[in-house]
Chains A and B, each alone.
Chain A
Amino acid sequence: MTRERDFPELLERVTPECLRIIARYEEKRSALLMLAHVFQEHEGFVSPEAVLAISEMVGITPAETEGTISFYTLLYRRPVGKYMLQPCRGLACAINGAEDAMAYFREKLGTSNLETTLDGLVSYEEVECLAACDRAPCMQVNLEFVYDLSPAKIDELLAGIRAGTYPVKAMAQTDPPGRTWEIRQDDQVSTGRKAPGATGVESPNNAGGVGDKSGTIMLDKIINRDVEFFRETRERAVLDSRAVVESVEEGREEAEHARH
């Protein structure tokens, strides 16, 4: 891929800046976040190659770098859209109409939270309090504030982005983004937590640990009396027992019959 081929050139270009940043600290490792920001600015995300380069510069293992970066939600470990739209869902915005604004965004973009549009132009993330509560509801576009959101303002913003006339600089995009940049345990599970797992690996290593929601989701379903869930469970139980298989088959036949 092009990005991987271009990386050595990028590394050479940013190395002087990185060394200047490292020199500001007593310990090299302190520069880690700032270096990740530098690479993200040029690549649109913190790539696996960048993780290796940062590790080498500050003298720690890639696992330590990865472990640190994965803690921070502003550092993306997978490619994102050219415009990161981040409406605030904090309380002061919420009581001033943020929910309507976010619903409007989702409708207009055709994405839900933590997703990138199919054309790779816009990524959408609902974030926590942005500290601009006096002009609620607010949002950030590539970390530039937009205040007092209204449907008209959102329309204008999206039209500007799509037409390429929006005044905020687009983010670098060296790789085509996937549907989401969040690393998840299971694509069926929508999570709002700090993502576990390693770069690009949907690791089963964290199963049952922080971020694994399978257990709680099942419990929720039981508590909420999820009809679909119980039907499936019963069917599964039935299939396990040979004696009842026939009755199920009969039921299916009946159902098929009814359909025709």
Chain B
Amino acid sequence: MPVTKVLTAGIGEADLRNIDVYRERGGYRQWERAVRELKPGDVLDLAEKSGLRGRGGAGFPTGKKWSFLPAEKPLRYLVCNCDEAEPGTFKDHMLIAEAPHLVLEGILLGSYGIECHHAFIYIRGEFKRGYEIFSAALDEARKAGFVGDDLFGSGFNLEVTVQRGAGAYICGEETGLLNSLEGKRGEPRLKPPFPAIEGLYGMPTVVNNVETLAYLVPILEKGAEWFASVGTERSKGYKIVSVSGHVQRPGNYEVALGTTVREIIDIAGGLRPGRNLMAVQPGGGSSACIFEEQLDLPYDYENMAKAGSMLGSGAFVVFDDSTDFVKAAHNLVRFFAHESCGQCTPCREGGHWLERVLERLVHGRGVSGDYEMLLRVSGGITGLNLCALGDSIEPFLKSVLLRFPEQFRARVLKAKETVPV
């Protein structure tokens, strides 16, 4: 299957940051149509029928997420999650900087779908440029009458607020994000209650990824059937895959879900000459590796889960035979240990200890029993935390421990080499 261009259409060809260029290409037409002709329920229906699932990592059906909002509470919020920081993911970064109006139109449609009057977008602190671009786009849209009070004379009011983060991966977790948006430490909350019941300021809140909301625009334009006709049985539509690592042409490629893993590698130019594939991490830093024998699997939510990994945010990292997996495991574990908010003991302490053990393995100073200890400790972190960050430490580590045990065992000091006490 070839690369398709739905959200990525026009990026790199036209200046989509300019509202006039965006409108010439049909921009904001769906927004106007929605407010003038459709009921909020229609937008929700379209989202549900299209089979659109969350593109930020969890893959939760978007329409279903919206339908959890309690009907008796009219005050509710939509929050667009642009705190993209998962190692290997760089799609939201591109969308916000190259197609800010598309993202904004997605946010507007989402807000209309859940009937909220104040939407927020939380942009990662490091994307200062993206924040400036998006803020400028928002001002333009406000001037053009797409954001504000009494839109298109319908009486529907909608305000959008842009917030910058300040360097914390955990704020990508939806309840951590809400705390950060409330001006607190970005520590995840205990769930339930889920944000759909008690979210921002204690009100029902929907948190959606940038890419998820942006897909609402083509879905409204071309219909739910069009979106649902692409993909596999339960994974519908398209997905931007961020391919990086040891490929010749790394970058963002939009493909239909169900394209095989091998095809995606080929789309990104394949491996460098003379190199062999060792592993692919199909869903960002939190996902387990898949290996050569699984390359012909369709890239969708179900098949990645069946292979023991996940599709996650679509961060697709390719490793060839030049990779030192002990270093790679240390790198990712260090990331999670660094980004742990420190609320839950298994994640805070477990991650830190794994990092220490892996560090001495990297330096070839492991002690006997380290290999088993890594498996035991990482298994002891999973499932015992408030949020998914702790559970994200194990998958990659375990998959490479089981696949390349010799790389780890070779770093253990032999008895005669230890310095005598």
Task: List A residues at the B interface (Cβ < 8 Å).
Answer: 24-34, 36-37, 58, 60, 67-68, 71-75, 89-92, 94-96, 127-136, 140, 143-145, 192-194, 210, 216, 220, 223-225, 227, 230
Contact = CB atoms under 8 A, between A and B. Distances in A.
B93 interface: yes
Contacts of B168: 71-73
Interface of B: 84-90, 92-93, 118, 124-129, 159, 161, 163-169, 180-187, 201, 242-246, 250-252, 285, 315, 317, 319, 322-323, 327-328, 331-332, 334-335, 337-339, 341-342, 348, 352-353, 356, 360, 365, 367, 418-419, 421
Given A32-B183, A223-B367, A91 B163 contact: no
Given A33-B183, A131-B84, A224-B365, A74 B167 contact: yes
A132 B93 contact: yes
A68 B319 contact: no
A12 to B, nearest CB: 23
Given A58-B183, A74-B125, A134 B243 contact: yes
12 contacts: A32-B183, A72-B166, A90-B88, A92-B245, A95-B246, A129-B87, A129-B335, A132-B90, A134-B90, A143-B129, A192-B338, A216-B356
B420 to A, nearest CB: 8
Contact of A225 (B245, B352, B419): B419
B201 A131 contact: no
A58 to B, nearest CB: 7
Given A91-B331, A220-B356, A227-B419, A29 B183 contact: yes
Given A91-B328, A95-B328, A131 B90 contact: yes
Contacts of B182: 27, 29-30
Contact of B181 (A30, A224, A230): A30
Contacts of A36: 166
A216 B169 contact: no
B328 A94 contact: yes
Contacts of A26: 118, 201
A71 B335 contact: no
A182 to B, nearest CB: 13
A131 B124 contact: yes
Nearest to B75: A26
A100 B332 CA distance: 18
A94 B323 CA distance: 10
Contact of A90 (B201, B335, B418): B335
A143 B128 CA distance: 6
A91 B185 contact: no
A47 B246 CA distance: 43
A76 B184 CA distance: 17
A131 B89 CA distance: 6
A131 B332 contact: no
Contact of B185 (A60, A71, A134): A71
Closest 7 CB pairs of A and B: A74-B167, A32-B183, A72-B166, A133-B244, A29-B183, A73-B167, A134-B250
